[in-house]
Homo-oligomer: A and B are copies of this chain.
Amino acid sequence: MALLAGRTVLLRAGVRLGAEAATRGGNGARRFASHRVLVEPDAAAGIATIKLKNPPVNSLSLEFLTELIICLEKLENDKTFRGIILTSDCPGIFSAGLDLREMCGKNPAHYAEYWRAVQEIWLKLYLSNMVLVAAINGASPAGGCLMALTCDYRVLADNPRYRIGLNETLLGIIAPFWFKDNLVNTIGHRAADRALQLGLLFPPTEALQVGMVDQVVPEDQIHSTALSVMSQWLAIPDHARQLTKSMMRKATADHLIKQREADIQNFVSFISKDSIQKSLQVYLEKLKQKKH
C-alpha cells in the first residue's frame, strides 16, 4: 500500500474561445455539442461519446479544434461525466490530422493562434481527468494518431485501410518534440525512432504488435468494446486514478508547457518561409484537383 505525494497543479494557457460555442446552452447532447463535435451523453453511465464530424476527413481546422476544446472543457467541468469515448462520425477516417489550409496564405498572428490551439487540444486530452478511450474507426495519420495517443486506451477497428502512425516525414516535415514524447511513452524509444524516421503507418495487426493500439476488434464491435473497456476503467476510484494518471504524465506535459511560447515562435517562423508556403500551395492544389 502506498500514498500520494501532493496534488499536482498543472498550468495551462487558455485558448481564446469563440462566442459561438460558449453561448450554446440547453440540456443533454446540445449542452456539449457543436456543429462539428457531436456528443452522445449517457448520464447514467457517466460516459460521453464524442463523435468528430468535420467532413470529409476530420481535418483539425482552427474552428474544429476550438469547438473540441470547448466541448472537452464543458465535460471536464460537469461532474456527471467520468469518461469519454472518442470516435469519428466520418466513414473510414478517424482524423486526417492538422489542416494545411490553416498554415497557408495567412498571417503570423493566425499561425500563432492555430499552433496554440493544436498545443491546447493535446494538453486538454493528454491531461484530462476523465478516462479517455479511443474507438478508432478509420485511418488515423499524424494529428489523428496524436489524438489517439493521448487516450488511456486505444481500440482499433480491424480494417487494413485503417492505418495509424505519425507519418510526418513522408510529407517532408517532422513531428514536434511533444508528439515524439507521447509516442516514446507509448511504444518505447527504439520503436518510436524507427516509426518516426520512416513515417510508418501501421495496419491493425502491426499497430497492435508495436503497442500503438491496445486492442484490435471487428469493425462492428468497436463501440461495444470501447464501452466494456470504459466500465473497467470507471470501476477505479476517480481521485486515485486521476492522481496516478497525472503522476505518469506530468513530466511529459511540462516538457511542452515550459517552452510553449518558443514552440509557437518556432512554428510561425518555419511556416512563414517562402519555400514552405510554396510547397504547401502546390500540395493543396493537388488535393483540390484530386477531388474534382
Point out residues on A near B: beta carbons under 8 Å. Answer: 1-6, 97-98, 100, 118, 142-143, 146, 152-153, 166, 168-177, 179-180, 184-190, 192-194, 196-199, 211, 214, 232-233, 236-237, 239-241, 243-245, 247-249, 263, 266-267, 270-271
Sample 14 A-B pairs with CB under 8 A, ordered by A number. Answer: A1-B171, A2-B174, A2-B175, A3-B173, A4-B173, A4-B174, A169-B241, A184-B189, A185-B189, A188-B189, A190-B211, A193-B245, A197-B233, A199-B240
Q: Is the CB of B3 within 8 A of A236?
A: no
Is there an interface contact between A270 and B1, defined as CB atoms closer than 8 Å?
no
Ranked nearest first, the 7 interchain pairs of A and B with the lowest CB-CB distance are A1-B98, A169-B240, A172-B237, A185-B189, A4-B174, A2-B175, A1-B142
Most chain B beta carbons < 10 A, residue from A100, A244, A248, A267: A244
Q: How many copies, total?
A: 3
When distances are taken between beta carbons in the complex, the residues of chain B under 8 Å from A198 are 232-233, 236
Whether A174 pairs with B143 at a CB distance below 8 angstroms is no
User: What's the minimum C-beta distance from A166 to chain B, rounded to whole angstroms?
Assistant: 8
A interface majority secondary structure: helix
Are B185's CB and A236's CB within 8 A? no
Beta-carbon contact of A245 and B197 below 8 Å: yes
- Given A185-B189, A193-B245, 17 more A-B residue pairs with CB atoms under 8 Å apart are A2-B174, A2-B179, A3-B267, A3-B271, A4-B174, A4-B270, A5-B177, A5-B266, A152-B193, A152-B197, A169-B241, A173-B240, A174-B243, A185-B193, A188-B189, A197-B233, A197-B241
